[in-house]
Amino acid sequence: MKEFLKNLIWIFLISFNFFQIEKVKAIVPYYYYPTIKNLQKQSLIIGKNAYQLLYFGQYEDSLNLAKLAVKINSKDEKLWLILAEAQIANKQYENALNSLNKAEQINSNISEIYFAKSNIYLKISQQTKAKSALEKAIKIEPNNHRAFFQLGNILLIEKNYLGAIKLFDKSIKIKPDFWQAINNQGLAYFEKNNVNLSIKLFKSAISIEENAEPLLGLASCLRINNTKLAIQLAKKALAKDPKYVNYDYRKEQLWGEKLQASTEILLQNEQLKKDVIVAKSKIIESS
């Protein structure tokens, strides 16, 4: 009996300790330590969310998320590119250049880095650096139509119209339906006083996409010889994009002095008076 009681006590003690251990396990919290792979995956998800916010115009929120993504994973050049885009959207150009330099240090063989740099340099009026960045992009991606287009735009700013036209030609050969390059050839030829060729190019651009810019460009070309059609085209252009009523906006789109002068005369036509007023009011409402 004594031996039986002794064994019973041992069983009780073992059972008690077992339940105590289980109890302690239930009280002590369990900590999850993420692996590097999981952190990288999370950073990419955050980066994609930042890019989506950027697309929807939520620039400040996009910037905050992009910063977080880079903090989690600073070794992914794609995240630095997203951060740079968010910084550009928030007009933090110096910070954006720093982010692009970080991306370049990780992987210097990505053309998007140099495209982004060229855009920043153009915004801060450093055209020589913009050219250099685009030339690097073309070396990496020689069939990129946008690189030649952007280089052509720089020459358009510099009033090197023949040089710009040649670069736009290269862009169009790579992508024949790239109406923006065709349109900008029209801008260049107008400044070279070749109005007939400008008309042909603006019409070609419109046949691909009926955009406000070639519509108004064509209207300005036809202002003297076909006023009726010019007014119809101008009305359509202003209805599509009221911003083209503004001289400074057209200048941003690289319109030259001669085309600007012709457009200003056209927009003073009495038959366009109402359309001009409506366009200007829409700009004020949206600002």
Q: What is the pLDDT of residues 157-198, one digit of tens each?
A: 999 999 999 999 999 999 999 999 999 999 999 999 999 999
Written as six digits, the tokens of 267 are 């927009």
Least confident piece of the model among 11-15, 28-32, 142-146, 282-286: 11-15
Look up residue 173 and give its amino acid: K
The Cα angle at residue 125 between residues 121 and 127, in degrees rounded to 5: 65
- CATH T-level topology, domain 66-142: 1.25.40
> What is the rounded distance in angstroms from the CA atom of residue 137 to the CA atom of residue 153?
15
What's the pLDDT band for 257 if we cut at 50, 70, 90? very high
pLDDT at 161: 98
Of the candidate CATH numbers 1.10.760.10, 1.10.10.10, 1.25.40.10, 1.10.3720.10, the domain formed by 171-287 belongs to 1.25.40.10
In degrees, rounded to 5, the angle at the alpha carbon of residue 178 between the alpha carbons of residues 173 and 181 is: 85
pLDDT beyond 50 at 40: yes
Task: State whether the Cα torsion 57-63-64-65 is positive or negative.
Answer: positive
Amino acid 2: pLDDT: 43
Name the range with the highest mean pLDDT among 30-39, 54-63, 151-160.
Answer: 151-160
Query: How many angstroms separate the CA atoms of 228 and 82, rounded?
Result: 48
The token duo for 142 is 């020689």
Residue with tokens 């140099």: 114
Q: Which of 70, 111, 68, 67 is nearest to 87 (CA)?
A: 67
Q: Percent of the chain at pLDDT above 90?
A: 79
The segment(s) of the chain belonging to CATH 1.25.40.10 are 66-142, 171-287
Tell me: the pLDDT tens digits for 41-98? 788 889 889 889 988 999 999 999 999 999 999 999 999 999 999 999 999 999 999 9
